[in-house]
């Protein structure tokens, strides 16, 4: 047994509470609210984030655009029936090209691929001289 609880964003108009128990992944995905994600434009897959869990809950995320965009869908009480979901990668794109980001640069407040990250690092060093 596991429990899903919908995440209500403070910025969302849709504040309808939703919480339900489920006994299988199939039962979870059969829910109307979760089913609606499959028709979203660019929807890629559901994924779970264990690392960022709050108070032992697991975050269920919806990934879009091949995993480059993601939104919190809700919270799962435990790991029962959801172990087969992929782990959320939360991939970001480089802010200067189309490549996957390698790291977030604190001073530039942006994501960069390895090549551009090195360039920015050099630029920062020059600025300090």
Q: How many residues bind Zn ion (CB under 5 A)?
A: 6
DSSP-assigned beta bridge partners for residue 111: 104
* Binding window for Zn ion (CB under 5 A); candidates: 4-12, 24-32, 83-91, 113-121: 113-121
* Binding window for Zn ion (CB under 5 A); candidates: 1-9, 15-23, 55-63, 94-102: 94-102
Question: Is 44 strand, coil or helix?
Answer: strand
Considering the complex, what minimum distance in angstroms separates the CB of residue 108 from Zn ion?
12
Cβ atoms of residues 73 and 63 within 8 Å: no
Q: Is 96 in the site for Zn ion (CB under 5 A)?
A: yes
Q: Which is nearer to Zn ion, 92 or 116 (CB)?
A: 116
Q: Is 101 in the site for Zn ion (CB under 5 A)?
A: no
Site for Zn ion in 50-69 (CB under 5 A): none
Cβ atoms of residues 63 and 46 within 8 Å: yes
Exposed e or buried b for every residue in 28-65, given b needs 16+ CB within 10 A? Answer: beeeeebeebeeeeeebebbbbeeeeeeebbbbbbbbe
Binding interface with Zn ion (CB under 5 A): 94, 96-97, 99, 113, 116
């Amino acid at each position: 047994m596991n429990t899903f609880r919908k995440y209500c964003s403070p910025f969302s108009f849709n504040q309808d509470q939703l919480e339900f128990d489920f006994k299988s992944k199939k039962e979870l995905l059969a829910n109307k609210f979760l089913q609606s994600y499959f028709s979203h434009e660019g929807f890629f897959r559901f994924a779970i984030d264990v690392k960022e869990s709050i108070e032992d809950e697991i975050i269920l995320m919806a990934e879009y655009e091949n995993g480059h965009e993601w939104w919190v869908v809700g919270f799962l009480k435990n790991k029962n029936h959801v172990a087969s979901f992929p782990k959320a990668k939360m991939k970001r794109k480089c802010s200067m090209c189309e490549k996957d980001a390698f790291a977030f640069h604190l001073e530039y407040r942006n994501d960069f691929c390895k090549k551009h990250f090195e360039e920015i690092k050099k630029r920062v060093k020059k600025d300090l001289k």
